[in-house]
Structures are given as C-alpha cells and as structure tokens.
Amino acid sequence: FVAPLAPADSPHLQMMNSLGILLFIPLATSSIFDQAAKGKCIPIDIDLCKDLPYNYTYFPNTILHNDQHTLQTHTEHFKPLMKTKCHPHIHFFICSVFAPMCPIGMPQAVTSCKSVCEQVKADCFSILDEFGIGWPEPLNCAQFPDPPELCMKPTEDEISGGFSAPRVPSKVSSSSSSKPTGCPSDLVDVDPHDPKSHCAFSCQSNVMFSTDNKRMVRSWSIWFAAANAGVAFFSFLTFAIDRKRFRFPERCVFYLSLCIFLSSLPYLSPLIIDAPIRSCHALGNGRSYLSIGTFDNSYCLASFLLNYFFSTAAALWWLMFSFTLYLSGGRKWVPEGIEACSSYVHFVAWGLSSLATIIVLIFNKVDASELTALCSVGNLNSIALLWFVIVPRIICIVIGTCFIVGGFASMCRERISFRTRGTDTSKLEKLMAKMGFFCALFILPNVIELVCQCYKFMILTQWTRMTIECKQQLGACHRPTPPQAEIYMAAVLSNLTTGLSCLVWVLSAKTVNSWKNFIFCGMCSSAPVKNPIEPSTRPLLEPPTAPPPQPPVYMQMTTNPQNAWRPSKVV
C-alpha cells in the first residue's frame, strides 16, 4: 500500500507497519470461540493486558498461537492503535480478543460482545483507513457473540455480561471503584466532571435501532417527502397564480400548503448532507454524539426550524380553516367580513407557532433522532415530546374537528331547507363532498401520527432513564426491549401524507384552466371582466334573473299657482 510519509519514530508509522504485518498472519481457525476439548484457566501473562478487571485467561487460546509469549508479540502490534484512544474501551477490547476472560468456576473463553466490537470499529476504522489498512481479521465483528451468549460489555466501573461470576480484583479495578459512575461504552459522556450531565447517543451508533431500520426509514421518508413536497408546492402555486379565485376560508389552504411544503424539506436533506454532518456534535477528544440541547450544529438548527415551526404552523392553519369555515357556513359570515378580521387569523397561526419554537429554544429541548438523523423536539426527551408535540396537536385536532362538525351541520340544514323549497342543491353537495375529503385526508394521518407519538412517549419514559440519564442512575442502566421501528416509521410517513389534502382541494377543472391561462397566456394581457362580483363572492344558489328596471317618468308641472310649489311625482 501507499501511505503519506511520516517520521520513522511517529506512532502513526509504527501503527501502519504493525497492523500491516498483522494482516498477513494466518489464523489457526475462523473463530476465537471454538473451544478446545480440554482447557483450563491460567493467569494472564501479557504485559499490555495485566491491568484488566480480570486476571485469568483461557488456555489454550485458539487464535494465532497457543503460548502467551507469541500472543504478547502480536498484541504489541496494536499498541499504536491503543495509544490513539480512538475509543474509550479499545484497550479492553483488544485484550479480550488475545486474552479472553476465563471464569474460574466454568473454564471457557469469554470475550467482548459483538456490539462492543462494532462500536470500536466505528470509531477506530477511520484511523486505519487513512493509511490504507483494512480492519484486521482477528477483530472481525462477525465472529463475536451477542447476548444471551456469554460475552463481556465494559462500563466505566464494571464488566457486565449475560452472566454473573466472581472475579479476582486487580489494582485497576480497586482504584477505579472510587471514581464516579460514568456513561456506558456506547454512549458519550458530554461532561465527565458533571455527575448530572447527559449520556448522549454516540454518532452512528446502534442504541435503540439497527442499521437496517435506519436505512429503511430514511429511504422511505425520502420518497414520501418528495411526493408530499411536490403536491404541496403544486397547491401553493395554484393559489399563487389565481389568488382572486380563493378567498377565506379557502385561503387558509394556501398557507397550509406552504407550511407542509417547507416542513417536508428536512427529510430530503439525506440526498445532499450526510447524517453525521446534519445531526452530530463533536467533542474535543474526537468523539461525536447526536445533538442534544446544543445549537453548535447549524444544519441541526435549520432542520429543527423547518420541521417543528412549520409543522406546528400547519396544524394551526388547519385550525384556522375549520374556524373560518364555521364562521362562513354556521354563522353566515361573508368573505369580506372574514377578510376584515384576517389579521387576527394570521396572528394566531404564525404567532403561536413562533411562541412554541422560541420556548423550545430557550429551554434547550432540541435533539436529534437516531432513526432519521434529523433534529426536532421529543426525540430523546419524553417530557418535551408530551408538551411540545402531543398536547398541541391534540388541541388543534379536537377543536378543529368541533368547528368542522358545526359547519357541516349548518350546511346540512341549509341543504334540507333548499330541497324543501325545490332549489337545486348539486353545487352545495359537491362543496360538502370536497370539504369532507379534505378534512378526512388531513385528520386521519394526524390521528395515526398522534397514536404513534403516544407509543414513542411510553418508550422514551423507559429509555431516557437508562440512556440519557444513566449517570444519575449510578450505573444501574438495564435497558428495556428495543422499540418497534415500524411504529416510528408510521409516525414519520403519516406526517408526510398531509399534502394530499391540499391537492384534493385545488384539483378541479378551474385549476386546469388557471394553469392553461398561466402557461400559454401568462404574458398576454387579458381583457378586464365587467362583472363586478368575483366568483368566490357569488352566492352558491343564484336567484332567477329579474327584468331590467324601467326608466323613471316625470310629470309635467302646470302653471297653476296652486301647484307651483308642489314637487314632481316620480312614477
């Protein structure tokens, strides 16, 4: 291989040469867990591994060679990698491979768990790859076991595995017992000196979800976000090219489509920005973690503003649509009257969403999602999820549904009254069907999302204490069952289907004509329409046309003095 030149005594060159030699060492067997027919526990005689929390290793070791002197020679090749401290437990992991623990009561080789290997590889592989060196075969993660098989998983103060066995205390274990409990190995201690600081999720680690789950959710969300943003933007442009056609309450759909379009854009960011760049924060020691309560990552802050602010504004604009629909259908308000109060409608929709966003920023509740690698609210904090996402959405859906029911009830009474008088109600029925489809396509996905968010809230109440707040649990962080990624994906995808409601509202023959006029006659000046009544202000059921009025006829005044001051009579 070809590598950059470095001084002969530099640790990088030593590591390159040592690990390069190790790549060509043949293995006696494909797995280090193939136990010999008869084995025993012997004291560890490898200098680099004498400070482990255990003192006995299994003999014979079936990796490379049987004697510990030869194993010690090959362990020295990893010494430069250990000095880089690319992972807090790189030393323990390598020693567990060459000197696996041997419980006294049941002699067998017990090495690190597969998750530990994957975490070490995720943090240290870039150093080897910089010199063109692949991951060494003795450290192949595919050969390491997972619980409930016997394996070791290090923490700051103990080695926990799928068993409980006594161990012989050593100097390191006795000295480290006096240290405060830290974060688990797959989490990042944001502030090691603060016992109440967060244990953040390591960037690109698999804590709650597997790599396959992340890949599945992110690929599906890109397709749904592209479709949702497309139909929402089309609805927005339809309103923009023919604004005179849409007045309140229809104009609320104009702002609703704009909010849906902007809130869908963060889900398209994986096409141009990698997950660590848009969702992670790096510490001074080189480790990075998913952003939680910090604004140092500008991409994370931008995705939060687009996602949370405009999704909240979309819910409020749907509430304003239902309210103005109730005023128009239930209270018989004309569009001019609603437009006169439109400033209050804008204040409620934009003002409340801005207030909620500011409160989230003040209390530092912005966090990144391990599943989508996007920043929002309530990804890692159950309390923030409840008060900033679930409760506001429930309020908007419940109150908006009440307004919709009131407006539909009034329109049904008018329909019955028109039929009693023998008036044609086909236009009114089409309008009611259109509103019904629009409301159903908006309410149903939001209800599905709320149900999934409630499930997410219950999961976070268990996982937050065992992950983010693990330091406050004094190391007793026994993680519950991993959540169902399909339910999380249902919440994401249902949020990315509300744009269909806006498409249903604008999809009509008038929209086709508006686009024809805009595309083919956009540069032409059309003749002014002499009809003073706009289409949206015309009554739904027009009365029959009355004959034109006759011109007034004036009586001639006489010269009679008695009638000289009598006013003329208009017939």
Determine the Cα–Cα distance for residues 277 and 289; give it in Å rounded to an integer: 11
Q: What is the DSSP string of 62-129?
A: -SS-SSHHHHHHHHHTTHHHHHHTSSTTHHHHHHHHHS-B--SSS---B-B-HHHHHHHHHHHHHHHH
Determine the Cα–Cα distance for residues 43 and 475; give it in Å rounded to an integer: 29
Which domains does the chain show, CATH number per domain? 40-143 (1.10.2000.10), 187-518 (1.20.1070.10)
pLDDT of residue 556: 53
pLDDT of residue 536: 44
Interior angle at CA 394, CA 393 and CA 397, nearest 5: 85
Q: What is the DSSP string of 119-187?
A: HHHHHHHHHHHHTT-PPPGGG-GGGS--TTSS-EEE-SS-EEESS-------HHHHHHTTSPP---TTE
Interior angle at CA 117, CA 114 and CA 123, nearest 5: 145
Q: What is the token pair recorded at 349?
A: 């929709």
Instruction: Give residue 29's region: left, alpha or beta (phi > 0; psi -120 to 50).
Output: beta
Residues 6 or more apart in contact with residue 321 via CB below 8 angstroms: 249, 252, 253, 256, 400
Least Cα distance to 267 among 71, 433, 489 occurs for 489
pLDDT of residue 522: 56
How confident is the chain (571 residues) per 10-residue block, as mean pLDDT? Answer: 38 46 40 50 80 78 59 76 82 84 77 85 81 80 80 60 35 36 76 80 87 92 94 90 77 91 94 90 80 86 94 94 85 79 90 95 92 92 93 94 88 82 79 86 93 94 86 72 92 92 83 83 51 44 48 52 48 38
pLDDT of residue 143: 81
Q: How far is CA 388 from CA 368, 379, 442, in A?
A: 15, 11, 20
pLDDT of residue 374: 93
pLDDT of residue 214: 92
Least Cα distance to 519 among 244, 246, 242 occurs for 242
pLDDT of residue 198: 83
Determine the Cα–Cα distance for residues 164 and 462; give it in Å rounded to an integer: 24
* Burial of residue 266, with CB atoms counted within 10 A of its CB: 0-12 exposed, 13-18 middle, 19 or more buried: buried
pTM over the 0.75 mark = no
Contact between 425 and 418 (Cβ < 8 Å): yes
